[in-house]
Chains A and B, each alone.
Chain A
Amino acid sequence: MISVQQDDFDVGDQYRRLCEQAGEAGAVVFFVGRVRGGDGTVRTLELEHYPGMCERQLQGFIDEARRRWDCRSVRVVHRVGRLAAGEQIVFLAVATRHRAEAFQAAHFLIDQLKTRAPFWKKEHGPDGARWLDAGADDVRAAGRWYHDAVAL
């Protein structure tokens, strides 16, 4: 299940819905990304996305995760629009039979999402607004899942 939305999400509700579709999977790993605070200053993020391509890319990552691991259920919720420090940005959850697969699949998915899904963050602070730069560490983290990795 993939959702790109403005509305906030409830982690408990997402977990319950994941479990409903996970059958008797023995392990669930989930990750929540939140807006970091900025050293005592007011900071909000504006998230822009490419509608349609985001969903296609995310589905592609999930398909690839299912090929690699025995994923019983996967959920990705990503928010867009204006978000304040401390607000939730992304929920990503994987249910598998055993924990090692759940950790690996969740790690793979968040690494791909961070570097290949068309979302962009603009930071609004006391000194104005600026687009955030992509992290080289994120690109390296995503590439290590592929032997034939190419730099994006």
Chain B
Amino acid sequence: MIRIRFFARLREALDCDLLDITVPSPLPVAALRRHLIHEYPHWAAHLDGRVLSAVNQELANGQTPVRDGDEVAFFPPVTGG
């Protein structure tokens, strides 16, 4: 099982903050994103290239591998400080 979390504008747009999925792993973040868009086609417009990702709470990129048990997050560019 892979736990996926969404934050801020993205969480509101998808109306989803947490999703647990089971997919064959390891797979790269980019493939996980494609899987989500395949499962939820109306998410495609929101899970675009500007969305950032993290794997196990470390910033990730499209090539970062995701394994069973990992926590993956997708979120918009950050605006703290």
Contacts and interface: CB of A to CB of B under 8 A. Distances in A.
Contact of A120 (B59, B73, B80): B80
A119 B81 contact: yes
B8 A122 contact: yes
18 contacts: A33-B81, A50-B7, A50-B73, A52-B57, A53-B73, A57-B57, A57-B59, A114-B78, A114-B79, A114-B81, A115-B77, A117-B80, A118-B54, A120-B9, A131-B12, A131-B79, A134-B76, A152-B77
Contacts, number: 78
Interface in A40-66: 47-50, 52-53, 56-57
A99 B59 CA distance: 32
Interface in A117-142: 117-122, 131-135, 139
By DSSP majority rule, is chain B's interface helix, strand, loop, or mixed?
mixed
Contacts of A122: 8
Q: Which of A56, A78, A117, A120 counts the most B-chain CB atoms under 10 A from its CB?
A: A120
Interface residues on A, range: 20 to 34
A122 to B, nearest CB: 7
A90 interface: yes
B9 A114 contact: no
B58 interface: yes
Contacts of A52: 57
Interface core residue of B5, B73, B75, B77 (most chain A CB under 10 Å): B77
B4 interface: no
A19 B52 CA distance: 37
Nearest to A46: B8
Interface string B37-71: 00000000000000010100111000000000000
A89 interface: yes
Interface string B1-18: 000010111001000000
